[in-house]
Amino acid sequence: MTTNLIDQFNRTINYIRISVTDRCDFRCIYCMSEKIKFLPRNDVLTLEEINRLANIFTTLGVTKIRITGGEPLVRKNIDSLFHNLSKNKNIVDLTLTTNGSQLIHKAQMLKEAGVKRINISLDSLNPLTFKKMTRIGNLDQVVNGIDHALNVGFDKIKLNTVLMRDINDSEIFDLTNFAIKRGLDLSFIEEMPLGATNYERKITSISNDEIFKKLDENFDLEDTLYKTGGPAKYWSIKNTNTKIGLISPHSHNFCSDCNRIRISCKGELFLCLGQETKIELMPLLRLFPNNDDPIKDAIINSMKIKPKSHEFDLSKEKPAVIRFMSHTGG
């Protein structure tokens, strides 16, 4: 019998994002610190523990699982996790967020493992800007990965872009046309104040209201009811196969219908991206290797402390939470 997860605000949780690693082959400026120190292996969930957690959550009504990182595809033996998850018939939607760097090597495996949708981060089409934002990333490698994934044939590929004022905001139309040319959807995401950076977010931050105004003046946008289970609001671009999504945690708070929680690669169950509220699942997994009931009880009880909303405020000098996005998972 399935027990649905319902929080104290009567929101049903059916979607988890699981980070499989804090490691990444990029160092994106809004995602992690330049001199980040990665976790030792023993502090990270094993692939078997991740699969076990996924199976537990699907007995509690979760039907959608997104695998994230860091960069999930750099995790050693990640293929085995995807193939094991594909055996769980309660997972209706198995998806992935990636920076695209490994898709040349991994796209076919993902397709065979039943991944239907992937989100690919792409913040610039200018090689110098791309290098500036990722610190060490290679644009050609990502574009080649996108095109290879298109050839492999997923049900849906979506691009994600974090626009930053005076860094990559001049590329709104270039990125949109790139998506249109390839028949891809594209989401613009307002930067979230996670982790201390060496730049002022209140200066680099751009409201999606401003982005929408520019897009609406240059493309024929039509409102849609399209949803993927995430927080994006979508518009279609007339006479194309592309939809534009806006994820707006600042300008249009979407917490009232939140349906998701996050598992860090350390086994921390974060109940809100913008709050520190969490419970530790790794100790339970290791203390009860053959008994899922204590883990289930902990997850069910966590619904009582899921916050009502994040509290992002760009006017404050300190970030909303100290941890970077790379810690929690994208």
pLDDT number for residue 35: 78
Question: Out of 54-58, 224-228, 291-295, which region has the weakest mean confidence (pLDDT)?
Answer: 224-228
Asked if 170 contacts 293 with a C-beta cutoff of 8 angstroms, the reply is no
pTM of the full predicted structure?
0.90
Q: pLDDT tens across 222-235, in order?
A: 999 888 777 788 99
Q: pLDDT tens across 114-152, in order?
A: 999 999 999 999 999 999 999 999 999 999 999 999 999
pLDDT number for residue 249: 62
Report the percent of the chain where pLDDT is more than 90: 71
pLDDT at 201 over 60: no
pLDDT at 168 over 50: yes
More confidently predicted of 7 and 196: 7
The residues with which 270 forms a beta bridge, in sequence order, are 262, 278
pLDDT number for residue 202: 58
Alpha helix locations (H) across the chain?
A: 47-58, 78-85, 103-112, 127-134, 139-152, 172-182, 201-204, 208-218, 282-287, 293-302, 325-328
Give the pLDDT mean for 39-58. 96
Using CA atoms, how far residue 15 sits from 12, 164, 214, 241, 297, in Å, is: 9, 28, 32, 26, 18
Query: Which among 71-80, 200-209, 300-309 has the top mean pLDDT?
Result: 71-80
pLDDT number for residue 199: 52
What angle do helix axes 127-134 and 139-152 make, rounded to 10 degrees?
100
Give the pLDDT mean for 307-324. 58
> Hey, what domains does the chain have and what are their CATH numbers?
5-328 (3.20.20.70)
pLDDT number for residue 319: 45
Distance (Å, whole) CA 49 – CA 74 = 18
